[in-house]
Structure 1
Amino acid sequence: MTAAEAARSRNNTSLGALYTVLAMLGFAIMDAMSKWVVADYSIGQMMWIRYGVFCVFAWLLVRRKGLRAMARTRRPWLQGGRSILILVESAVFVLALAYLPLADTHALASTSPLIVIMFGVAFLGERAGPARWLAVVVGFLGMLLIVRPGLRSFDWPMLLPIVGAVMWAAYQVLVRVCTRTDSADTTFVWTAFAGLAATTLVGPWQWQWPSAIGWTLLIAIALLNALASYSLIRAFAVAEAGAVQPYSYTALVWVTILGLVVFGDFPDEWTILGTAIIVASSLYTWHHDRRNGSSRA
């Protein structure tokens, strides 16, 4: 691929949006299944099975190019650190699902696109004008409406999706950095095999032999995670992170529907209002960037 072709492939916003929407749908279904399964199996076991299937999927994807060739990277420490980060984030999020409703968990985690803006400025040297900083401030006000400190009994599990949002934002920024020098397949292979290596230190010690239904759900979760993760990596490979961020909010639609249908949960009016403010603040930034013909405010 020539430099010009590579540049064009990294700026296909429509394709990046499609990959992002598919990734969010996959993650939403996966999270609904995880909330169901985590009541019966340990998080360590779930992560170990997830990454075992992830590795098989990664090997099938790159076998013609060669696993060893695809694992070559100029930044092994960055790839390894990024892979462990998403593993920890996934575990934190599953833990949050064990305590919180599906929609509430995702509502708090929806602050991650705004955190991406801050991380982009801090670590990637991106510029953020008043419009972007206004979106960040308003978005966090929306988060406060959901948490309502001082106005409701604060439960510590509410911190989990917020911590996960910070990790998720950092992961997205690191994926973007990695795709500057490595292919999406290389990033995918590192995510799979570094995650398996890490979970092998924990998973076997928390093993409980699954039932037939348990195996079905655990493998389905793992397949959805692999497909959604690859779709998201492809999204960041073909489009700028800021350009596809608004489409990540489709996850809120999916999880609200799944939470209502599967668990009978529906977010209260304050959570809906806070989520709407968070989404609106990010959509405002996106609209502002498009109107100015640039992804940087």
Structure 2
Amino acid sequence: MTANTSNAQSDTTHKGILLIVFAMFVFACQDAVTKHLAQTYATPQIIWIRYVFFAIFATVVAGWHVPIKQAVKSTRPVLQILRSLIILVEIGTFVVAVRVLSLVEIHSIMASFPLIVTAMSAIFLKEAVGIRRWAAVLIGFVGILVILRPGLGVFRVEALIALATAFLFASYQVLTKVAGRTDKSSTSMLYMAVVGAAVLTAIGPFYWIEPTPEAWLLLGILSVTGVVGHSCLIYALSLAPASSLQPFNYTMLVWATIVGYLVFDNLPDLWTIVGGAIVVASGLYTIYRERRRAVPVPPAVAQVKP
């Protein structure tokens, strides 16, 4: 490899990292808008509108290179539908959680999902997980306990919703890894979007409250941020390997803290910071060990939602 080639690859990797960091900022802003809307509007209504826009986006992306009929073909359609339903429920629980918890509280707990993926992959997919990664998983869950603090008089039942959301997201990730063995990522994204939009179109009207002009503007921003964030992720993955981009998903926690403070005047307490730091450190170490052992890292595009 020549020096020029190496420099060019380094430049594209840096651009991919910047795009990932920007995408995390966009998603933090999206979560802030969701939190505001969730105080007035029902969860199915909010995510219905998000999914309709995302379905249009996913259809365009999937059909960009191949005909839609070919893009929608899957070797495991039942698995694709199952993972699509799981991520739909996960998004719903996230909206419920964001209604009652601060952004930094939620994302401190959600940061544990790569650790849960590691544990699930070992148990259900029989992937080899060494003692060091198992230790990182256990330490990460100690971090979750530090955040939740059960039995110390500050435990909030609502925090269990965020933890359930992390488990659902991890389950979706594991199923995405299985689907990715035979199906293209565009097929997986198309199934996720279309199945979710179809389900919500069936139930969304029962929860409809006519939005105010301000709410329509926010719902539009919610949809646009989803498309912009996903576009950045897709482009970033075309510039750099997923394994190089994966650690920078954790910048979401930084953006959630900043946006949460600026918009809602929420700041994490000391124990949330300590617990979140433990979880993130454990996750980063797990990623490091995966790279050392050449274990495939799930694509960053699969780690976000409509």
RMSD of aligned residue pairs (Cα, Å): 2.6
Residue by residue over 1:113-149, the C-alpha shift from the partner in whole angstroms, topping out at 9 and shown as x without a partner, is 1101101112222111111011011111111111100
1:7 aligned partner: none
Matched residue, 1:59: 59
2:265 matches 1:264: yes
SS of match in other structure, 1:295 = coil
1:219 and 1:13 mapped to 2: Cα distance?
Answer: 32
Partner of 1:200: 201
Contact 2:63 2:71 in 1 (8 A): no
Which residue does the alignment assign to 2:302? none
Deviations 1:207-231 (A, max 9, x none): 1111222112112212323444566
Deviation per CA, 1:183-213, whole angstroms, max 9, x where unpaired? 2221111111100111122210111111222
Q: Report the equivalent of 1:25.
A: 25
The CA distance in 2 between the partners of 1:59 and 1:130, in whole Å, is 42
Q: Please show how residues 120-199 of structure 1 align to structure 2 within 5 Å.
A: 120-199=121-200
Letter paired with 2:187: T
Shift of 1:15: 8.5
Shift of the 186–287 alpha-carbon distance from structure 1 to 2, 3 Å rule, reads closer
Counterpart code for 1:73: S
For the residues of structure 2 that align with 1:182 and 1:139, how far apart are their CA atoms?
Answer: 31
> Alpha-carbon deviation of 1:16?
7.6
Distance 1:261 1:130, change over 3 A: same
CA distance in 2 between partners of 1:278 and 1:262 (Å): 25
User: What are the within-5 Å matches in structure 2 for residues 213-252 of structure 1?
Assistant: 213-229=214-230, 244-252=245-253
Q: 1:80 to 1:20 in 2, by over 3 A?
A: farther
* Residue aligned with 2:267, SS: coil
Change (3 A) 1:15 1:77: farther
Aligned residues: 283
TM score, norm. by length of structure 2: 0.83
Percent identity between the two aligned chains: 39
- Say which is worse superposed, 124-133 or 178-187, in terms of deviation: 178-187
**Contact 2:148–2:156 (8 Å) recurs in 1:** no
Q: Which runs of no fewer than 5 residues in structure 2 stay unpaired?
A: 1-11, 297-306
Amino acid in the other structure paired with 1:27: F
**Deviation (angstroms), 1:181:** 1.6
Partner of 1:9: none
What are structure 1's unaligned runs of at least 5 residues? 1-11
Distance 1:22 1:120, change over 3 A: farther
Separation in structure 2 between the aligned mates of residue 30 and residue 234 of structure 1, nearest angstrom: 19
Between 227-236 and 260-269, the greater mean CA deviation after superposition: 227-236
